[in-house]
Structure 1
Amino acid sequence: MSTLEEHVDVGVPIDKAWDTLHRVENYPRFVTGVREARTEAAGRAHLGIEASGRSREIEAELSDRQAERVMEWHTTGAPDLIGSFSLQSIDDNHTRVQARVEYDPDTVREAFGGPKGFAQANAIERAVRSDLEHFKDCVEQGR
C-alpha cells in the first residue's frame, strides 16, 4: 500500500469545516471526478465517479471520531481505498484540514486507468492537493 498525506489551511472555524466535510452530497463541488454523491443508511456513502473516461460506482463506510475531529472512510469493494480527514483548529477562524489516503497503485490503475509508477503517484498527489484547494474555496465562499 502507498500512503499519501496532504493538507490545506482554510479560513473558517473548525465547526464550519467539519460540517461541510460531512455533507457528502456536496462532494461533486470539490472532489475531482465525483459526479454524484449521497449519504446512505448506517454511515455509508455512495459515489458515482468518472475518471479517465471510465464510470464507476463506489460504496464507502464512514466513521467519526467527533471529539478528535477525525472522519475515517474505506471503500467496501474494489478499489480498496482507505483514508481519513483530520481537522485541527489553528485559531478561532482558521482550520487545518489533512487528508490521508492509503491505496494500492495497481488496484487504482485497474479501476481508474491512468499512468503507472511514479507518474501515477504524482497524478494522485496532484488530484488530492487540487481537491483540498477546491474544498478550501467551497468552504470559505460558503457554497
Structure 2
Amino acid sequence: MPSVIKTVNVSVPVRTAYNQWTQFETFPQFMGGVESITQTDDTHSHWVTKIGGVTREFDTEITEQHPDERVAWKSTDGKTQAGVVTFHRLSDNETKVTVQIDWETEGIIEKAGALVGVDDRQVHADLERFKKYIESQGHEDGAWRGDISNPSQ
C-alpha cells in the first residue's frame, strides 16, 4: 500500500491553519484533482475526484480530530484510503503542517504512478497551494472546533 508524507510551513498561527483544514468543502480550491467535497455531518463527507481522466466518488469518516493538533480520516467505501494531518506551532505566526496519506492502488496506471512518485508530487503541490491559499487570505474561511475520538466505536 503506497504512502506519502509531506510537510509545509505556513506563515499563519496554528489555530488559523487548523481551522482552514476543517473546511473540507474548500479543498477543491487548493487540491488538484478534487472536484467537490460535501460534508454530510460532523464526521462524514462525500468526495468526487478526477485524476488522470478517471472520476471517482467515495465517502470518508473523521476517525480522530483534536483542535489545533490533528485530523485523521479513512474511507468508508470504495478504494481504501486513510490519512492524518498534524499541526505544530513553530511560533506565534508559523505552523508546520504534515500530511500522511496511505491508499490502495487500483489498476496498472495507478500502480505505475505510485512507483514513479506521481502521488508524492501531487501531495507536495497540494500543500504548497494550501500554503498560498491560507497565507494570501491571512484568515480561515470558517472553523469546526469539535473533538472526535473513534466515532465508529
TM-score range, shorter chain: 0.7 to 0.9
Pair 1:29–1:68, CA change in 2 (3 A): closer
Q: Distance in 2 between the 1:42 and 1:65 partners?
A: 11
Q: Distance in 1 between the 2:26 and 2:109 partners?
A: 25
Q: Using the aligned pairs only, state the percent identity.
A: 23
Q: CA deviation at 1:115?
A: 5.6
Q: Distance in 2 between the 1:68 and 1:133 partners?
A: 20
Pair 1:141–1:63, CA change in 2 (3 A): farther
Partner residue of 1:8? 8
Aligned CA RMSD, in angstroms, stands at 1.9
User: What are the ranges of 5 or more consecutive residues in structure 2 without an aligned counterpart?
Assistant: 142-153
TM-score with structure 1 length normalisation? 0.87
Instruction: Return the structure number with greater helix share.
Output: 1
Q: Distance in 2 between the 1:40 and 1:14 partners?
A: 26
Partner residue of 1:18? 18
Q: Distance in 2 between the 1:57 and 1:65 partners?
A: 23
Partner residue of 1:123? 118
Q: Distance in 2 between the 1:50 and 1:86 partners?
A: 26
User: What are the ranges of 5 or more consecutive residues in structure 1 without an aligned counterpart?
Assistant: none
Q: Distance in 1 between the 2:109 and 2:62 partners?
A: 25
TM-score with structure 2 length normalisation? 0.82
